[in-house]
Amino acid sequence: MIGIRRAARLDARDLADLLNAIIRKGGTTALTRELDRDAMLGWIDRTPERSAWHVAEADRGGILGVQLIEPHPDLPPEACDIATFIRPGTTGIGIGSRLFEASRRAACDLGYLWINATIRADNAGGLAYYQSRGFETCAHHPDQRFANGQVVDRISKCYRL
């Protein structure tokens, strides 16, 4: 069984471990540098108002995924940005669906009218995930350079609440 709950500062080490597994795998995130507990705490503590973090947790403990919504400086105030991170090897068991339902409700409660997801164009799984939730392509961002020097296109997908 998988439970969904709000993320807390006490989750910082487990969240860093989850993100680091995804970063090491490569090809699915714009994050290029591994995080430690303190870096994760800094990210959590800098979360702006009108944000929500949710984690998917296995009954026996252990975070299987995290999804966050937050305002973004490149978006109007009626829109939030979303990011989803699922532990490698655990896709296809409903984690993303359950996280999105919690995030969608939170976005409505926070007064947003739409959600933006910006995904690497080479991340077929991420593109399919957002498409399957009803997101529609709204922008293409060619030649985006990441901190490690890698250049990839990114695609923005929008979901109307």
Which amino acid is it at 77? Answer: P
What is the span of the domain harbouring residue 141? 2-160
What is the pLDDT of the chain when averaged over all its residues?
Answer: 90
- Give this prediction's pTM: 0.89
The DSSP output letter for 72 is -
Residue 95 makes CB contacts below 8 A (sequence gap 6+) with 2, 56, 64, 65, 86
Nearest-angstrom CA–CA distance, 134 and 141: 20
CATH number at residue 102: 3.40.630.30
The number of folded domains in the chain is 1
Reported as a pLDDT band with limits 50, 70 and 90, residue 32 is: low
**In this model, does residue 107 exceed pLDDT 90?**
yes
**In this model, does residue 26 exceed pLDDT 70?**
no
**In this model, does residue 118 exceed pLDDT 70?**
yes
